[in-house]
């Protein structure tokens, strides 16, 4: 039952990711079922494997909420790692290259890209080990300053990565740079009420941060082209209409996310009374 729930929750997370990804990219790249399903399938695999290792009781709402955020972050991390350092495609369709680049110039050497991927993974591993060493079952996670610091880790990594990728072409935006760490810290404060484990707090906070920021950028400003397609023509104008069909599913998932958070926080509060 636990594995079944894990796969279902992961599929929901993957559908959420696939929907905002399709909504922003389809007018420029077109739509395909294969591409839409990619995030869903990857999330389901991650959900199955993670359930085996984490051994969280997913019949508990607090664990379910944390698990969803972790899978979201893991899928995004692996997908971006692949697109940045491994995948090779024509970058001329982008204003901001999606492959690893230095000041807008794409690094073509595979060994150099894979070395940077290894360095990025090593950094993530070091951060994870550090969080594990900080982990405490004695209520340490309830200290606000520590939670904010730890929870913002994923946001800071995202902010620096985004500044490296986008800054040379878009310019440095102070508000944009601090947005991810601030949102991640706020998410971590809520998640610290659901789990005492810093690794899970940081991972889940990073996942929910991506979900919130991408929703804001994608659906609150639908007419504004994403940075990577700035100045590029819309090649598939029919998708401006067809993509609207996916919005009810996206909204329904957000309702589930918010309801899950509320129920989990209420359940934790009642358990402490």
Local confidence pLDDT in tens for the 273 residues of the chain: 899 999 999 999 999 999 999 999 899 889 999 999 999 999 999 999 999 988 889 999 999 999 999 999 999 999 988 888 888 887 777 777 778 777 777 888 888 888 888 988 898 888 888 777 776 544 445 456 666 677 677 777 777 777 777 666 666 667 777 888 889 888 988 998 898 888 899 899 999 999 999 999 888 877 776 667 777 888 899 999 999 999 999 999 999 999 999 999 998 756 554
Q: What is the value of pTM for the model shown?
A: 0.87
Give the closest residue to 22 by CA, choosing from 272, 252, 236, 205.
236
Range of the domain at 234: 2-272
Buried b (16+ CB within 10 A) or exposed e, 7-32: bebbbbbbbbbbbbbbbbbbbbeebe
Task: Report how far residue 196's alpha carbon sits from residue 139's, in angstroms, rounded to the nearest whole number.
Answer: 7
Number of Cβ within 10 Å of residue 240's Cβ equals 14
Structural domains counted in the chain: 1
What residues contact residue 220 under an 8 Å CB cut-off, 6+ apart?
A: none
What residues contact residue 116 under an 8 Å CB cut-off, 6+ apart?
A: 85, 100, 107
Crossing angle of helices 153-170/144-151, nearest 10°? 40
């Amino acid at each position: 039952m636990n594995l079944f729930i894990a796969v279902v929750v992961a599929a929901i997370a993957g559908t959420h990711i696939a929907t905002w990804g399709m909504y922003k990219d389809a007018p420029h790249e077109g739509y395909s079922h294969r591409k839409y399903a990619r995030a869903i399938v990857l999330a389901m695999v991650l959900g199955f494997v993670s359930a085996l290792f984490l051994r969280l009781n997913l019949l508990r709402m607090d664990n379910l909420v944390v698990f969803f955020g972790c899978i979201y972050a893991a899928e995004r991390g692996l997908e971006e790692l692949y697109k940045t350092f491994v995948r090779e495609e024509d970058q001329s369709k982008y204003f901001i290259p999606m492959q690893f680049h230095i000041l807008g110039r794409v690094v073509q050497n595979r060994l150099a890209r894979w070395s940077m991927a290894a360095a990025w993974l090593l950094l993530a591993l070091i951060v994870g080990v550090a969080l594990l060493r900080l982990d405490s079952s004695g209520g340490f996670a309830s200290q606000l300053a520590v939670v904010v610091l730890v929870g913002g880790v994923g946001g800071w990594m995202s902010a620096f990565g985004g500044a490296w990728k986008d800054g040379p072409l878009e310019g440095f935006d102070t508000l944009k740079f601090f947005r991810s760490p601030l949102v991640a810290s706020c998410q971590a404060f809520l998640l610290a009420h659901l789990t005492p484990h810093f690794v899970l707090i940081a991972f889940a906070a990073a996942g929910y941060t991506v979900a919130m920021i991408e929703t804001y950028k994608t659906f609150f400003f639908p007419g504004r082209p994403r940075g990577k397609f700035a100045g590029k023509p819309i090649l598939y104008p029919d998708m401006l209409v067809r993509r609207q069909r996916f919005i009810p599913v996206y909204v329904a998932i957000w309702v589930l996310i918010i309801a899950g958070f509320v129920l989990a926080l209420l359940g934790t509060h009642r358990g402490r009374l």
